Amino acid sequence: MSYNIALNFEDGITRFIRCNEGETVLDAAYRNQINLPMDCSDGVCGTCKGSCHQGKFDLGDEYIDEALTDDEAEQGMILTCQMVPASDCVVEIPVASTMCKTGIARVQGTVLEVNLVSPTAIELKVAAEDDIAFLPGQYVNIQVPGTEETRAYSFSSRPGSRELSFLIRNVPGGLMSSYLVGQCKAGDSLTLTGPMGSFYLRPVERPVLMLAGGTGLAPFLAMLEHLKVNGTGQPTHLIYGVTNDDDLVCIEALEQFAAGIENFSFKTVVASADSAHPLKGYVTNHMQDAPIHHGEVDVYLCGPPPMVDAVLGYFRDQGIKPNSFHYEKFSPSVSAVAGAVA
Ligand SMILES: Cc1cc2nc3c(=O)[nH]c(=O)nc-3n(C[C@H](O)[C@H](O)[C@H](O)COP(=O)(O)OP(=O)(O)OC[C@H]3O[C@@H](n4cnc5c(N)ncnc54)[C@H](O)[C@@H]3O)c2cc1C
Ligand code: FES
């Protein structure tokens, strides 16, 4: 028996390792050529401290209080030299990946399909040559063929498959957009680096509210694929907002999720005054019946920066403090702007 351990480094890079039954995370990482911070490896110095909020594990009982206090353990902190996983886990490592003599993984892929699914959105399907493990909601950087430039794209496909899909906004004149619309064809080779990002689905322990703007729907499709397999015992509601009627995409997929995932529901909202859509305005205009439960909710928000800022401002102005708030801005640059509001 072995477990899949995601090591999330401070610089946003995630590396996945297999950890054998009874093996510590530190030893498993070392076996996978990743040198996590350590000094004593005996639970004495505290150098290997990290945190784990996802998965089951044995904290160990041979460490001393100076290395890890009871309070820290209660808050989810761990010592990688002591922690023995008992399931798949996500472990936060509070240093950059480069400090651990590891870095970003590079995978080659072949374009399977590229489709203009609306005037403003492109669906890209890619077959990866190697396994590319990721957490639902994370993204990769894709190199624009013929250039040194990369662009960040969230996976819209389910983790665990080599068949990857992406939902990409068609930005007129944009470098990647122009390649995808004008030149890209089945068989083209692409270089992907990642996975990256701290915007991923946490264990579903209370109601979940998902707020998507435009192609910001992409990471939610991956999260819903995950929930389709793993289920959700909690009300999970998605509000998906776009500018114009024909920007609405993947509605059939969302209907299938609503039919296949117990407790999942969604609604769509169109901002344009000319729209014939029944729900007009912004996602924040349609949250009356969302499962906010006096803050007992985990909120996930993704879309273009102005939309994300507007929703963050709305929550602030209304004095709504969700249990957790995770967001990702689809910034035009390659640098990710992800965050969490406690
Ligand atoms: C973490 C992360 C994840 C992302 N995931 C996705 C995703 O799943 N799907 C997706 O569609 N995008 C995503 N993006 C945005 C994506 O990386 C690119 O920025 C976008 O696709 C534009 O690339 P381009 O090469 O076509 O245009 P560029 O050549 O980069 O831009 C051309 C011009 O258009 C402007 N521009 C770029 N994007 C926009 C925009 N959205 N609205 C208005 N003007 C713009 C630029 O400032 C520039 O002036 C993500 C960004 C980040 C940081
Ligand atoms: S390396 Fe010293 S406590 Fe883990």
Within a domain: 202: no
The 10s digit of each residue's pLDDT in 150-172 is 999 999 999 889 999 999 999 99
Domain boundary among 63, 80, 100: 100
Domain boundary among 43, 75, 100: 100
Assess whether pLDDT exceeds 60 at residue 339.
no
- Report how far ligand 2's centroid is from the alpha carbon of 204 (Å): 31
The 10s digit of each residue's pLDDT in 255-267 is 999 999 999 999 9
Residue 10 and residue 110 in one domain: no
Average pLDDT over the chain, rounded to an integer: 91
Ligand 1 close to Cβ of residue 152 (< 6 A): yes
Residue 229 and residue 189 in one domain: no
Q: Quick one: which atom of ligand 1 is closest to the CA of 199?
A: 1
- Report how far ligand 2's centroid is from the alpha carbon of 25 (Å): 12
Assess whether pLDDT exceeds 50 at residue 337.
no
| CA pair distance 47, 233, nearest whole angstrom | 38
Q: Quick one: which atom of ligand 2 is closest to the CA of 46?
A: 3
Which of the two residues, 139 and 198, has the higher pLDDT score? Answer: 139
Which residue among 330, 334, 335 has the greatest number of ligand 1 atoms within 8 angstroms of its CB, and so is best to mutate?
A: 330
Assess whether pLDDT exceeds 60 at residue 285.
yes
Assess whether pLDDT exceeds 60 at residue 338.
no
**How many domains in the chain?**
3
Q: Which domain holds residue 37?
A: 2-100
- Written as six digits, the tokens of 264 are 């999942």
- Written as six digits, the tokens of 276 are 């014939």
Banded model confidence at residue 136, pLDDT cuts 50, 70, 90: very high
In our burial notation (b when 16+ CB lie closer than 10 A, e otherwise), range 214-253 reads bbbbbbbbbbbbbbeeeebebbbbbbbbbbeeebbbbeee
CATH code of residue 146: 2.40.30.10
| CA pair distance 276, 279, nearest whole angstrom | 9
Which residue among 64, 65, 81, 83 has the greatest number of ligand 2 atoms within 8 angstroms of its CB, and so is best to mutate?
A: 81
Express as a percent the part of the chain with pLDDT over 90. Answer: 73
Residue 216 and residue 311 in one domain: yes
